[in-house]
Structure 1
Amino acid sequence: MTAVRSERERSDASALGTGSDPEALLDIRNLSMRFHVGRGFLGMGARMTVNAVSDVNLTVRRGETLGLVGESGCGKTTLGRCILRAYKPTSGELRYRREDGAVVDLATLGTRQLRPYRRQIRTVFQDPNSSLNPRMTLLQIVGEPLLANDLARGDELRERVAEGLRLVGLRPEYMRRYPHAFSGGERQRIGIARALITGPRLVVADEAVSALDVSVRSQILNLLDDLQEQLGLTYVFVSHDLSVIQHLCSRVAVMYLGRIVEEATTDDLFERPRHPYTETLLRALPLPDPRLRGSRKRIPLRGEVPDPASPPAGCTFHPRCPYAQERCDTEEPALLPLRSRRTARCHYADTLDLEGVVAD
């Protein structure tokens, strides 16, 4: 009787109904991730709290590619790891829609309860050199998730690994080789095959092309695009490179110091940014036409990224913002809804005339 009641309580705690947006695969609500670290020599001093992710609200819809962009240290990778449940969020919800339509809060699940969702939410790592075990063959690397999730063994496993390699443009006879026999682009294809081998619905790609040569990046981006259309995948693509985001993503969320400061469709964000930080990122993009390089005004950011353990009062971007006014020093802006289903965390998002870039 106790076991039955315990199972029912776990089911009630995880099934949260059908949710409000039928197209939402993942609904992130008020998500925060805090780390407690020591200060001083060897971390032995007084402890401090680092707010890596603060009160993030995002919706990832089925079949789309959502880009998370920002400079190093903005919290985008931490948010991606929370989605994967590599980190257990300090607070907030990760409302994941199952195939039967029920919604589960992944943030509250324990290790055993998370196991069925590990094969549905997968990741592609940044560095293909360090993410592949040099002592394992492709058969072992790509087939490991099948063994870990009890999905296939023996001949069936080999057949599925061969199909996974074909899917990413590699020959099945390569499965007996080791990672050192492949180029950087081929290694990343191996990492993609490993991520897709369990048939996931959501893939988190963390800087998936930043470690690759420029000549190879477009091949991997096109492969990810083709696989999304072929398999019906949903992507969360983490990157600091806006040119990559523009190529692959349908919607973009810009992060600064652990918060979402702007969210919009890719076309809207590039044509007319609504937050000064977004404008600064866009102005850093190189112009392919040399005749246009003198036509764009550059406004360099002042100062450095603030300490996330001691963020500035008011708007966290105001010490570096060229448009900051007195109100920005003391009053924290909310993430305000704007027209065209976009949001911006700026007091003057409706009045500033910010400069975008022309779409390719």
Structure 2
Amino acid sequence: MAETTLETRASGAEAAPPMAEGNLLEVRDLEMHFAERSGWLRRSRRVVRAVDGISFDVRAGETLGLVGESGCGKTTTGRCLVRTHAPTGGRLMYRGGDGREVDLAALPHRDLPDYRRQIRMIFQDPFSSLNPRMTVRDIIGEPLRVNGVARGAELDDRVADLLVRVGLRPQHRSRFPHAFSGGERQRIVIARALSLDPRLVIADEAVSALDVSVRAQILELMVTLQRERGLTYLFISHDLSVVEYLCDRVAVMYVGKVVELGPTEELFTRPQHPYTQALLAAVPQPDPTRRNILTQRPLEGEVADPADPPPGCHFHPRCPFARDICRTEEPALRPTADGRRVACHFAEELSLPGLAVDDDAAGLSDPEDT
């Protein structure tokens, strides 16, 4: 993408094709490029391709996981979906509660409030995401008040109901955030996100700052709330064990691109992209039956610079299966025979082990023999 495309697209973009039935959100060729200026006069600049042309769908009622190493662009993707960042390219086709389809990427700011009520975000750190000078009543009730949904006694009742739904006592709504533990604070964050009855919730590392036992409780809460309120989740995480438990499908990102997308169980047991397999190999497995030989071969090298990615497949400098075509031709994210999508030239040829699969069943072969 040329540097001139760093200007946000005009709202008068060409009409998009109709969305597929059952999809709540369709992301098409999403880009978020940042210009970094440097030098004495700040004249020189480079373009950081944080998100570089990704496409995926979010189905109504499902939990889609978005995973990858730090710096892969998954958090930036989430912020584009709630329009904290204005995308520099692509479409964000969303089907609203009234059935109307709209491109969120092309909406001017004055038209965003209605959709920000339907798409809410849960942030990673429950300590910094809550204003220490506001009471729980004010924190949870602020979206209701700002959007003119409730005031006075009605607002109090709604806050009390939300606290009960997330497992907290309504009597504590006059307390300040410092009076709560980390897990309790994250329950308050969740209550605030649910205050406007959203349809899509984007959870950005929502449990990574919590202890293991508290993490399990919050995940159970999210599952319960999804079932009760018909929520759809986009769950952003680097913790694959959490993603395996919570998500119906998983999209794997590397240096601003989606490299594999498919149902969770299939992706975890039979990965088709070498990067996905490398992420799975790094997951600690206390159960010896869930380990495989490649867990002893850690992924080498550093994540590519999104401002200067390598040519061809961005993963090829770290890939043990790379061939000449990988160094010159970028693979497209394409469907495979089993209905998944993968960006690898040799996905059908590789036999990559996953979790909970023995080596014989996986057809494990040495990288040198491939």
Instruction: Name 1:355's counterpart in structure 2.
Output: 353
Any conservation in 2 of the 1:38–1:45 contact (CA below 8 Å)? yes
Contact persistence 2:122–2:204 (CA under 8 A): yes
Q: Secondary structure at the match of 1:129?
A: coil
TM-score under structure 1 length normalisation: 0.93
Which of 106, 109, 115 pairs up with 1:108?
106
In structure 2, relative to structure 1, the CA distance for the partners of 1:15 and 1:329 (3 Å cut) is closer
Match of 2:207 in 1: 209
Map 1:184-333 to 2 at 5 A: 184-290=182-288, 293=291, 297-333=295-331
C-alpha distance in structure 2 between counterparts of 1:265 and 1:342, whole Å: 8
Partner of 2:35: 36
Deviations 1:210-232 (A, max 9, x none): 00011110000010001000000
Which string of whole-angstrom CA distances, capped at 9 and with x for unpartnered residues, describes residues 95-143 of structure 1?
0001222200011111110111111000111000000001000000000
**Closer/same/farther in 2, CA of residues 297 and 14 from structure 1, 3 Å limit:** closer
CA displacement at 1:153 relative to structure 2: 0.7
Report Cα offsets for 1:13-63 as digits up to 9, x if no partner: 69968824110100111110000012358x946211000001111100100
Hey, what's the Cα distance between the residues in 2 that align with 1:294 and 1:28? Answer: 35
User: In structure 1, what is the equivalent of residue 175 of structure 2?
Assistant: 177
The amino acid that maps onto 1:190 is I
SS of corresponding position for 2:51: strand
Cα pair 2:290 2:356 within 8 Å, conserved: no
CA contact (8 A) 1:127 1:211 kept: yes
The one of 136, 139, 143 aligned to 2:137: 139
Structure 2: how far apart are the matches of 1:280 and 1:59? 24
Q: Please give the secondary structure, in 1, of the residue aligned with 2:120.
A: strand
Evaluate the alpha carbon distance shift between residue 291 and residue 27 of structure 1 in structure 2; reply closer, same or farther with a 3 A threshold: closer
- Alpha-carbon distance, 1:147 to partner: 1.1
Summarize the Cα distance change of 1:294–1:333 in structure 2 as closer, same or farther, 3 Å threshold: closer
Question: Deviations 1:143-165 (Å, cap 9, x if unpaired)?
Answer: 00011111111111111001110
TM superposition score normalised by structure 2: 0.90
Task: Please give the alpha-carbon distance, in whole angstroms, between the structure 1 residues aligned to 2:14 and 2:96.
Answer: 9
Q: Distance in 1 between matches of 2:239 and 2:15?
A: 36
Q: Deviations over 1:221-247 (max 9, x none)?
A: 010001000000000000001001001
**Does the 8 A contact of 1:15 with 1:105 survive in 2?**
no
Change (3 A) 1:81 1:222: same
Decide whether the 8 Å contact of 1:68 with 1:239 is kept in 2: yes
Contact residue 15 and residue 102 of structure 1 kept, 8 A: no
Identity of aligned residues (%): 58
Q: For 1:213, give the aligned amino acid.
A: D
Amino acid in structure 1 at the alignment position of 2:138: Q
Distance 1:292 1:198, change over 3 A: closer
Q: Within the alignment, does 1:76 sit opposite 2:74 as a pair? A: yes
Residues matched between the structures, number: 347
- Tell me which residue corresponds to 1:25: 24
Q: Which residue of 2 aligns with 1:151?
A: 149
- Show the 5 A alignment for 1:117-132: 117-132=115-130
State the alpha-carbon separation in 1 of the partners of residues 337 and 178 from structure 2: 51
Any stretches of 5+ residues in structure 2 without a counterpart?
Answer: 1-10, 358-370
